[in-house]
Amino acid sequence: MELMYTVNPGIEDIAADEISRELGGSISYELMSGHVYHVVENVDYEAFYRLRSINKVFTLIWKGIIGKGIEDLVLFSKSLSQILRERRIWEYVTPHTSFAVETERIGEHKFTSIDISRIIGELVIKVVEEVTGKKPKVNLRTPNTIVHAFVRQDKVFVGISLSGSRSLHRRGYRLYDHPAALKPTLAYAMLTLSGTRDKDLIVDPMCGGGTIPIEAAYIHEDSNIYCLDVNKRYVEVAEKNAFAAGVVYKITFDQWDARRIHEYNFPSNIDRVVSNPPYGIRYGDPRVIRRLYSSFLESLYKVLSDNGRVTLITTEYTFLNRLIEKLGYIKIHERIVQHGGLYPHIVVFTKK
């Protein structure tokens, strides 16, 4: 079976490692594509819901080349019509179930996502009716089956969703959202890059809605996890989210100013700091953010263990890189990711 997973662009390698570890098979991907391809003989469908790094998963029924003009849709239609017959689309979309078509398109084209969805929908109905004698029902709100198309520049992929209409990054525990909430999939990626382990003292000193500490609690059975924020309301929200996630007992919640983190009464020096600090235009004057970063990292240096690591995601990566060098840290990893329409960097660093 050939599968395709959607992930946050920039963490394809992390997702590929997790998929390979959980399901085996052959993995391939292009960095920043947002897709991971997977060929595996036997599929454990329950395993999809254990994966922490993916958004959606599809079984591929066709991948090919598409032009950019309206006239190219004619050839696309003819090719797909044959493929739908070869792949026995009526076994996925039946006259007794409803379906919908979703299309994602990236690049410059003379046609729209709606044009692609319309062609696929009409072909599915036609082929299913020809084989079964009945038309399948279209249900755009709550379909039983989702046929998904990805058009990326000159490439097109068509698949059947195996994870439903809801992205798997929506864990269900986020009863209350922070204004700049981090996707749990990116939180998992940051924890992976940080190299968190059982028994570590893991701290998110600007925890917001608590996504990073909650994901850490899912991953680790026996770590000392702290969820801190200067805003009392966010700490309360994070605790409620952790309760909904069933991991509240694994995490210590407290109101604290990250700029004075060296004054907090931790049981030992910190092994891992993983955090999504303020950044972006919604926080106003960047000078305020930069002063926060400076004060925080100066304070943190005093209580970070000699082998400790700090992993931050921010659009202020240019300033952050200058700052960590100035304060006596050394960068060990940096990558760009896509999140919420922005392209922040994940930066990992330690003491020199």
Residues 113 and 216 in one domain: no
Residue 338, in any domain of the structure = yes
Q: Which domain holds residue 240?
A: 184-351
Q: How many domains does the chain have?
A: 2
Residues 118 and 246 in one domain: no
Order across the sheet with 145-152: list the strands.
26-29, 35-39, 2-6, 56-65, 155-161, 145-152, 98-106, 137-138
Residue 239, in any domain of the structure = yes
* pLDDT of 321: 97
Residues 20 and 126 in one domain: yes
Is 193:186 a contact under the CB 8 Å cutoff? no
Residues 255 and 329 in one domain: yes
Residues 204 and 157 in one domain: no
Identify the three-state secondary structure at position 278: coil
Give the β-pairing of 56-65 and 155-161.
antiparallel
Residues 121 and 222 in one domain: no
* pLDDT of 48: 86
Q: Please identify, among 113, 146, 161, the residue that sits at the C-terminal boundary of a domain.
A: 161
Residue 267, in any domain of the structure = yes
Report mean pLDDT in 10-residue bins for the chain, 352 residues. 94 97 93 92 84 93 91 93 95 94 92 96 97 95 93 92 74 68 94 97 96 96 95 95 95 98 97 92 75 97 97 96 97 95 95 92
Residues 129 and 36 in one domain: yes
* pLDDT of 149: 94
CA distance 49 to 27: 18
Residues 193 and 333 in one domain: yes
Task: Please report, for the domain that includes residue 232, its CATH number.
Answer: 3.40.50.150
* pLDDT of 285: 74
Residues 189 and 157 in one domain: no
Residues 39 and 105 in one domain: yes
Half-sphere exposure of 216 (CA within 13 A, CB side): 34
**Predicted model pTM:** 0.91
Residue 167, in any domain of the structure = no
Residues 17 and 124 in one domain: yes
The helix or strand, by DSSP H or E, that contains position 272, with its residue range, turns out to be strand 270-275
Q: Please identify, among 161, 195, 226, the residue that sits at the C-terminal boundary of a domain.
A: 161
Q: Please identify, among 126, 161, 196, the residue that sits at the C-terminal boundary of a domain.
A: 161
Task: Please report, for the domain that includes residue 151, its CATH number.
Answer: 3.30.2130.30
Is 282:322 a contact under the CB 8 Å cutoff? no
* pLDDT of 170: 66
Residue 171, in any domain of the structure = no
Residue 173, in any domain of the structure = no
Residue 178, in any domain of the structure = no
**DSSP string of 24-91?**
-SEEEE-TTSSEEEEE-SS--GGGGGG-SS-SEEEEEEEEEE--SSTTHHHHHHHHHHHHHHHTTGGG
* pLDDT of 282: 55
Residue 281, in any domain of the structure = yes
Residues 8 and 40 in one domain: yes
